[in-house]
Chain A
Amino acid sequence: MVSEIIVQLKGVSKYYDDTPALTDVDLYIRKNEFVTLLGPSGCGKTTMLRLIGGFEKPDSGTITFKGEDISNVPSHKRRVNTVFQRYALFSHLNVFENIAFGLRIKKMKEPVIQEKVAHMLKLVNLEGYEKRDVNSLSGGQQQRVAIARALVNEPEVLLLDEPLAALDLKLRKEMQHELKNMQRQLGITFLYVTHDQEEALSMSDTVVVMKEGEIQQIGTPEKIYNEPINAFVADFIGESNIVDGIMRQDYLVEFAGNTFDCADAGFDQDEPVDVVIRPEDLTLMPPDRAKIRGQVRSVNFLGVHWEMIVDGSDGTSWLVHSTLMEPVGTTIGLGLEPMDIHIMKKVRA
């Protein structure tokens, strides 16, 4: 099912005092999609959100909403709403009036307002909190008010700027779930900004990985995780071993003092590459049968699995996740399947 494009950025750049925050970005968002902008702080993800929300104007390029250029339309005339990072609730208004704010601006009739706000309070599980002072609410409750305040205006796109960043882990998990449910129920397009890769992977239909004002990769969570386009994405999405390698020929790569079969082709002969291997793809095996050998330097129990750092005989260290454990000092072998060896072009020569 491919739905229509609702928001599109074409060649958008934005500078703050000559420092680029976004350079020549192209992106489209389809209706009803849950799109996440993911990247470390300073990568331009929040800037992109603010451009779409109308809080900033692009220095070049265009932003269209349903085919109409909105690059210079002020935020109060856009049909998108935002959930702000630190909630930005109106501390002089109670819960009800916070949520009703947008409706009152639109001069809706009182019974309509009552009904819509009541409906929203139910949706975000805050029935009975109408008269409460927003400052007396917990972080999670304030977050719900902020979401309700945006959603009650029935925006076509909801922008969320790290909405869960201030919540503790357990609450964050709960809210992730609820947000995803709301998005499915209401059929609204969500554009979600986060630096938390787990959050991005678990909630999104599409993940946009960004770095230094440029988009690195756009794709489904599975694709981003399993087929990262470069070492940066691989490293940022989950933990990875990234080692230098040389592509000897198609489907054959040399690294860690050995050659391995792999699933990648299309590189120059003897081209230096980054080899990315997920720690959970390395399996423990007897040293005499393995191509990679090393000594266990440290072992950490992480609950579901063990985390081991193995010093390879050629000097490379390997991060290994395994349900099995070998004590520190043991010499072990590490095995891996050709499918689990990801070959990437070197980002920097």
Chain B
Amino acid sequence: MRRFTLTPYLVWMVLFTVVPMLLVLYYAFSVPTAGGTTWSLENFSRFFEPIYLRVFLRSLSLAVISTAICLLLGYPAAMIMAGSAFKRKNVVMLLFVVPMWMNFLLRTYAWLTILERSGFINSVLAFLNLPRLNILYTDKAVILGMVYNFLPFMVLPIYSVLSKIDKGVVEAAGDLGANPLQVFIKVILPLSMPGVVSGITMVFMPAMTTFVISRLLGGGQFTLIGNLIEQQFLVVGDWGFGSAISVVMIVVILLSMAVMSFFEGPERDVALW
């Protein structure tokens, strides 16, 4: 019976997960020559040229900044929603999740309408006789778009860990003499680390590799690593270099996950649902 249920998937998995990944590796580690292809690290050495390195660092810094903002905004939000400030917690969580059900592109597109020169914010500012705000097609707009799109990925895992913390543990800390601040620092924060870790991973990963947000809100000339990969495949046609950048991305993400899992502590099973 196992053979009957598992085999179709194994074939599928090899065909559509393993083989494509091997192809990426193949293209990344080879260059075309007159007679065919040969193994080479040339694609990787190109990545370390200053222009590309700058793109990489820029992607990294934007991803780090928006992850940090998501954490600073999201942790208190998750904590409040997991606490007793609202009677109907389910409704609050539902309201929080609803915007995520909108198509991702439409959500990002919405900010165009809000941020553009004659858009919503500037109309309001003009009405109040305040100077215009021109952040569209800048770093700030890209960060805003990332925070807007990825904030729920930070809040949900933290919320789910916080709401599972046994109330008795918090009471026990108080019982043992800890004041509310000490309870937070010594008990709640460390216990919520698994949620924080998975939140950070879930925000950092897409932020690092997005090419849509940067293309729409950062304008045409705005290049992040995701845009670089896209260009190699769809515009330049240099699949070898595009694959090499992809491999670097995977390595960066595996590294960051390894670093994060180091902080994760004993409890590991944190799923989004």
Quote the shortest CB–CB distance from A295 to chain B (angstroms).
52
Most A CB within 10 A of own CB, among B177, B178, B266: B177
Tell me, in angstroms, the Cα distance from A89 to B169 when the chains sit together.
Answer: 6
Residue of B nearest to A101 (CB): B176
Contacts of B266 in A (CB 8 A): 91-92, 133, 135
Tell me, in angstroms, the Cα distance from A133 to B266 when the chains sit together.
Answer: 9
- A195 on interface, CB distance cutoff 8 Å: no
Instruction: List residues 167-185 of chain B with CB under 8 A from any CB of chain A.
Output: 168-169, 171-179, 182-183
Quote the shortest CB–CB distance from A199 to chain B (angstroms).
21
- With A76-B174, A84-B171 known as contacts, the answer to whether A101 contacts B191 (CB < 8 A) is no
Tell me, in angstroms, the Cα distance from A62 to B172 when the chains sit together.
Answer: 23
Q: Mark B181-216, 1 if CB is under 8 A from A, else 0.
A: 011001100110100000000000000000000000
Quote the shortest CB–CB distance from B249 to chain A (angstroms).
32
- B166 on interface, CB distance cutoff 8 Å: yes
A-B contact count (CB 8 A): 75
Interface residue count on the B side (C-beta < 8 Å): 22
Instruction: List residues 55-102 of chain A with CB under 8 A from any CB of chain B.
Output: 55, 74-77, 80-82, 84-93, 101-102
Question: CB distance A90 to B191 under 8 Å?
Answer: yes
Tell me, in angstroms, the Cα distance from A75 to B168 when the chains sit together.
Answer: 13
- With A86-B168, A91-B266, A135-B266 known as contacts, the answer to whether A74 contacts B191 (CB < 8 A) is no
- B83 on interface, CB distance cutoff 8 Å: no
Size class of the A contact interface (CB-based, 8 Å): 20 to 34
Question: CB distance B182 to A105 under 8 Å?
Answer: yes
- A131 on interface, CB distance cutoff 8 Å: no
Q: B168 contacts which of A77, A85, A101 (Cβ < 8 Å)?
A: A85
Most A CB within 10 A of own CB, among B172, B182, B183: B172
Q: A84 contacts which of B168, B183, B191, B193 (Cβ < 8 Å)?
A: B168
Quote the shortest CB–CB distance from B194 to chain A (angstroms).
10
Sample of 30 A–B contacts (CB below 8 Å): A54-B174, A55-B174, A75-B175, A76-B175, A80-B175, A81-B176, A82-B175, A84-B172, A87-B168, A88-B166, A88-B171, A88-B172, A89-B169, A89-B172, A90-B172, A90-B173, A90-B187, A91-B169, A92-B187, A92-B193, A92-B266, A101-B173, A101-B176, A101-B178, A101-B186, A102-B177, A105-B176, A105-B178, A150-B175, A153-B177
- Which A residues are closer than 8 A to B by beta carbons? 53-55, 74-77, 80-82, 84-93, 101-102, 105-106, 133, 135, 149-150, 153
A55-B171, A90-B191 known, 7 other contacts, Cβ within 8 Å: A75-B171, A76-B179, A88-B171, A91-B266, A92-B187, A101-B176, A150-B176
